[in-house]
């Protein structure tokens, strides 16, 4: 009788193993795919001081699909959240016209340039400061 009880317990334990393997996915597996960001600051190229009121926009590379935008605050900082992991390369444009600074694309050197041909694509995450000229 004891041997049967042990075998029954072992069989029951083996039958529950597949159920344990079907647990809900972990938090990492359910992470959103749009948790990327693009952030940094905009500085006056001549003085190296923060520039408030510049609009920074990110677009899907080689398109005019706007993915997000932000205006710089008093410290020149901006942050654009909600970017998809699929958007590994970004077209970045700045508009400083409202505060008498230049408008254009962001080059690999993080200076503002007047055409996409002189610009560079950028990856997500924290960026070097964008340097912008006062008009």
Whether the predicted model's global pTM rises above the 0.95 cut: no
CA distance 39 to 71: 11
**What pLDDT score does 4 carry?**
53
H/E element, 18: helix 2-21
Q: Three-state DSSP class for 100?
A: coil
CA distance 106 to 21: 49
List the one residue out of 46, 50, 36, 130 whose CA is nearest residue 89: 36
CATH number at residue 109: 2.60.40.1120
Is position 4 within any domain? Answer: no
Is position 25 within any domain? Answer: no
Is position 53 within any domain? Answer: yes
Q: Mean of the per-residue pLDDT values for the chain? A: 84
Mean pLDDT by 10 residues, the chain (135 residues): 51 51 46 81 98 97 93 98 93 97 97 94 96 97
CA distance 15 to 2: 20
CA distance 86 to 21: 30
What is the 8-class DSSP label of residue 101? B
Is position 23 within any domain? Answer: no
What is the 8-class DSSP label of residue 74? T
Beta pairing partners, 66: 59
Expressed as residue numbers, the domain containing 125 is: 36-132
What does the pLDDT look like over 66-90, one tens digit per residue? Answer: 999 999 999 999 999 999 998 999 9
């Amino acid at each position: 009788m004891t041997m049967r009880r042990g075998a029954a317990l072992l069989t029951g334990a083996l039958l529950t193993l597949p159920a344990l393997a079907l647990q809900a996915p972990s938090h990492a597996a359910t992470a959103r795919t749009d948790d990327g960001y693009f952030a940094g600051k905009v500085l006056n190229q001549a003085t190296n001081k923060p520039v408030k009121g510049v609009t920074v926009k990110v677009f899907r590379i080689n398109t005019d699909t706007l993915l997000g935008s932000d205006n710089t605050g008093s410290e020149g900082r901006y942050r654009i959240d909600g970017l998809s992991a699929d958007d590994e390369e970004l077209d970045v444009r700045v508009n400083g016209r409202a505060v008498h600074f230049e408008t254009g694309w962001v080059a690999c050197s993080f200076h503002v340039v007047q055409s996409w041909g002189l610009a560079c694509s950028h990856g997500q995450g924290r960026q070097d400061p964008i340097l912008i000229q006062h008009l």
